[in-house]
Amino acid sequence: MIRSTINDAHYTIEFENDKTKGTINGKEFNLDMLKTEGEAHIIYGNRSFRVVLEKQEGNDYTLRVNGKRMQVQTKDKLALLLESMGLSSATEQKINLVKAPMPGLVLRVLVEPGQKVSKGDPLLVLEAMKMENMIKSPGDAVVSAIKANLGQAVEKNQILIEFN
C-alpha cells in the first residue's frame, strides 16, 4: 500500500505485482504503461497520458502529466507504520555537515554562520575542472560554521560547512 498526495488531494493506492492493476481509494484500476528513462506513456480509461519525471527528492516528485505540473508525495507501508507509531522522525536524517563532492577551489561562499537554510538552498560555489558547481543544502538546517575559505583549494570529502 502507498499513501500518496497529489497537488493536495490524498489517495490510497494498492498495486498488484505488475503495477498495472490495483485499487485507488478502493476503486479498481487497470492501465497499460510503457516506460522509458524518466518518462512513461499510460493509457487509462480510454485516455492517454504522457508522464515526465522532472525532479525527485526522496519520496517527493515533480511530474509533468500531459504538460501539467504535479507535485506528488508518497509514503510506503513502512513510512506509514512508523508515522502511526509516532516515529516518523526516525526516517529523517539529521544533517550535520556538507563535504566537498570533488577536489576543487572555493569560488564563492553564499551563507554565514547562524543562517537558516532550506533543502536545495545554494551554500557555496566550487570550481572543479574549469566548471562551477553549486553546492546546495541537503536539508533544512542552521549553519554553525564555514570550514572552507574563499579561494581555498579543497580535497574530496573535506568538510565545507557544519550545521547545528
pLDDT tens profile 76-128 = 888 778 777 876 655 555 678 999 999 999 999 999 999 999 888 999 999 99
Residue 71 — very low, low, confident or very high, per pLDDT cuts 50/70/90?
very high
88 vs 5: which has the higher pLDDT: 5
User: Range(s) for CATH 3.30.700.30 in the chain?
Assistant: 2-91
Cell of 101: 563532492
- SS3 at position 148: coil
User: Among residues of the chain, what percentage have pLDDT more than 70?
Assistant: 95
Q: What pLDDT shows up at residue 90? A: 52
For the domain covering 97-163, report its CATH number.
Answer: 2.40.50.100
Q: Are 152 and 112 in contact (CB under 8 A)?
A: no
Q: Are 43 and 55 in contact (CB under 8 A)?
A: no
Q: What digits encode the pLDDT tens for the residues 21-32?
A: 889 899 998 889
Q: What pLDDT shows up at residue 89? A: 55
Q: At residue 68, does pLDDT exceed 90?
A: yes
User: Range(s) for CATH 2.40.50.100 in the chain?
Assistant: 97-163
Q: What pLDDT shows up at residue 64? A: 94
pTM above 0.85, yes or no: no
For the domain covering 2-91, report its CATH number.
Answer: 3.30.700.30
Q: What pLDDT shows up at residue 47? A: 92
The rounded distance, in Å, linking the Cα atoms of 124 and 160 is 9
Q: What pLDDT shows up at residue 104? A: 95
Q: Are 151 and 131 in contact (CB under 8 A)?
A: no
